[in-house]
Amino acid sequence: MVRPCALEGAGKTIYKRFPQKYASGMDTKPSRKRPELSIVVPFFNEEANLPELYKQITETLTGKYDFEMIFVDDGSTDGGYEFLRKCHEADGRVQVIRFRRNFGQTAAMSAGFDFARGDVLIPLDADLQNDPADIPRMMDKLSEGYDIVSGWRKDRKDKAATRKLPSRIANWLIGRVTGVRLHDYGCTLKAYRREVLAETKLYGEMHRFIPALANWKGARITELAVNHRARTAGVSKYGLNRTVKVMLDLMTVRFLGSYSTKPIYVFGGLGMISMVLAFIFLVVAICQRIFGEKLHLNKNVLVTFTVLLVMMAIQFILMGLLAEIMVRTYHESQGRPTYVVRDRLGGPDDEGK
Ligand code: UDP
Ligand code: MG
């Protein structure tokens, strides 16, 4: 028996019937084989949007794809989880993961990816700003031979000063630093082939960098303009401080992308620069002692700089050596190779051993 799927006491009775309408008479059992598509929805206090979101996803995809929906409750304090519990009981394609507390959108998305079984994974905002109607077009684009289709909110319905402007600058900067130029890193709606997400661990605000991380592993990426709608219910969960976090994450991503297997090149390089500067300062100081104004070395500030720079150089190089040890521990203890293989012809059967 299909049960009503309304939010009790929230006056949302207009949705009372939709689980029956969309769930009954269709194949809503969780499929045993891998579904084609997993929709991953992280949400935090989006009670007012979830019923309409569920309705739109199922309306768009039922009959077209074999799909599952994974809702990740990122520590909400409203009735969203109860609503989804009822959806889950009525519709086997709905999975719900509930966090013990608010861990952030990236962690929630990461959990969704971990539990998803689909061949294609599509994250979506729960606030209805992304439009599920774009999903079939993204699937078509993927089938042209891409690994990632990145949504681009071409006509973005957000505040200009606190959202669109910082986002433009951030996108430009991320594009330059990572070498993967996308118009809209921040758009949650993206389609990923499962393989590109394997072994991609997400920290901080890093879900937006997945295209860049995947590109370093050789993924083929394209963009698709998607619909964007203004938020009509609930409140935005972010302020301007997200920009700062994104910038710091960008530094991390850049470092990990270019130098994670050879950190001594970065630290050693800085150490070398310090050494060279120290040497130049010392030579200048000696020249000043002998030829110029006969300045005593112990009164020359350049000598102080030399000492400082030599100490910094030693620190940098030691830090580089430590990082090298850590890289080896990381890769060797977990059996992670330092390369990514696309295909292999011939050779032993047991995966590269
Ligand atoms: N979100 C989340 N955990 C958080 C913050 C946000 O799961 O700690 C979800 C939120 O419910 C929404 C999505 O992430 O589904 C995007 O958040 P929001 O709409 O507040 O961001 P904006 O669109 O304003 O950039
Ligand atoms: Mg939003």
Instruction: Give me ligand 1 centre to Cα 126, in Å.
Output: 7
- Say whether 319 sits in a helix, a strand or coil: helix
How far, in Å, CA of 242 to CA of 42, rounded? 17
How far, in Å, CA of 269 to CA of 316, rounded? 8
**N- to C-terminal Cα separation, the chain:** 52
The structure tokens 């979101």 sit at 53
Q: Residues 22, 62: contact at Cβ < 8 Å?
A: yes
Contact residues for 180 (Cβ-Cβ < 8 A; gap 6+): 174, 211, 212, 215, 221
Q: Residues 231, 196: contact at Cβ < 8 Å?
A: no
* The pLDDT value given to residue 1: 40
59: left (phi over 0), alpha (psi -120 to 50) or beta: alpha
Q: Ligand 1, residue 103: give the atom nearest the CA.
A: 8
Which of 1, 2, 8 lies closest to 83, judged by CA? 8
Q: Residues 44, 237: contact at Cβ < 8 Å?
A: yes
Q: What is the pLDDT of residues 236-272, one digit of tens each?
A: 988 888 888 899 999 988 888 788 889 999 999 999 9
How far, in Å, CA of 122 to CA of 118, rounded? 9
* Residue numbers of the chain with a pLDDT score lower than 70: 1-32, 349-353
CB-side neighbour CA atoms (13 Å) of 78: 15
* Ion ligand 2, residues whose Cβ is below 5 A away: 127, 129
Encode burial over 173-204: b for 16+ CB neighbours within 10 A, e otherwise.
ebeebbebebbbbbbbbbbbbbebbeebebee
H or E element at residue 191: strand 190-193
Which of 110, 231, 237 is the best mutation target for the ligand 1 pocket, counting ligand atoms within 8 Å of the beta carbon and taking the most?
Answer: 237
How far, in Å, CA of 168 to CA of 171, rounded? 5
* The pLDDT value given to residue 353: 46
* The pLDDT value given to residue 9: 39
CA gyration radius for the chain? 26
Ligand 1 neighbours by CB, cut-off 6 Å:
42-44, 46, 74, 102, 104-105, 108, 125-127, 129, 236-238
Instruction: Give me ligand 1 centre to Cα 15, in Å.
Output: 23
How far, in Å, CA of 255 to CA of 233, rounded? 39
Q: Residues 38, 97: contact at Cβ < 8 Å?
A: no
* DSSP state string for 212-225: HHHHHTT--EEEEE
- Say whether 69 sits in a helix, a strand or coil: strand
Global pTM? 0.79
Q: Ligand 1, residue 42: give the atom nearest the CA.
A: 7
How far, in Å, CA of 181 to CA of 212, rounded? 9
Q: Which phi and psi angles does 293 have, rounded to 5°?
A: -85, 15
